[in-house]
Amino acid sequence: MIALRNLLFKIVFYTISVPIVLATPISALFGRNAIIVNTHIWTAFHHWATRTFLGIHQNIEGTKFPGGPVIYAAKHQAMYETLELGRMLNTPAIVMKQELASIPVWGWAARIYGCIVVDREASAGALRRMVKEAKTALAEGRSILIFPEGTRVPPRRTPPAARRVRRPISDAQDSRRADRDRFRNSLASSRPEKGGHRDVPLR
């Protein structure tokens, strides 16, 4: 039964995905709004197909989504969460590897969509451009979706993340000096009085 459901999913999803994906560069010619609509169609279809044929349902715990733009750090295990998070998070600016952005046509379309390209071997100038793109996305009210581990990771494995990601954020400026100052201020304000103690709030 499971094998049959998997087969039906592959036939239906990939057959209909081909014309949608081929239409992506065409929609990109009409600007960001057009390619976002194209993306919504594909992710909505993917959501329907995974629920209908594979029986995949989501369970969201805690606060669903913050009001303003934030950084979402997600674990990357398969294609599923890439498409689903794009749908659920209302068109976030996705941080993707330079290797993907280098794919002819597709990489160009991804940039039109608003993806933020990160080169792990980048120079200081390339890193500044990446920060500029992140600031632009936040100014437009778009959240940022990043997969800190940098690649797909099998279930039940948690390798060290490539970068530490804090959330929520109000802008893209996050310097180590600011973190250090906040840490020092927290320590200064939480020194215990003689004979007592004081809890340090987590920020």
pLDDT digits (tens, 9 = 90+) for 157-168: 665 554 444 444
Instruction: Annotate 141-165 with b (16+ C-beta within 10 A) or e (fewer).
Output: ebbbbbbbbbeeeeeeeeeeeeeeb
The pTM of the whole model exceeds 0.75: no
Q: Which residue has the higher pLDDT, 26 or 132?
A: 26
Contact (Cβ atoms closer than 8 angstroms) between residue 132 and residue 117: no
How high is the pLDDT of residue 11?
95
- Residue-level pLDDT at 202: 41
Out of 1-5, 19-23, 122-126, the most confident range is: 19-23
Q: What is the DSSP letter of 141?
A: T
Length of the chain: 203
pLDDT at 176 over 80: no
Question: Where is 138: in which H helix or E strand?
Answer: helix 124-139
In tens, the pLDDT along 45-90 reads: 999 999 999 999 888 877 667 767 888 888 888 888 889 988 888 8
- Is the pLDDT at 197 greater than 60? The verdict is no
Look up residue 103 and give its DSSP letter. Answer: S
Residue 17: pLDDT over 60 = yes
Query: Residue 129 — pLDDT band, cuts 50, 70, 90?
Result: confident
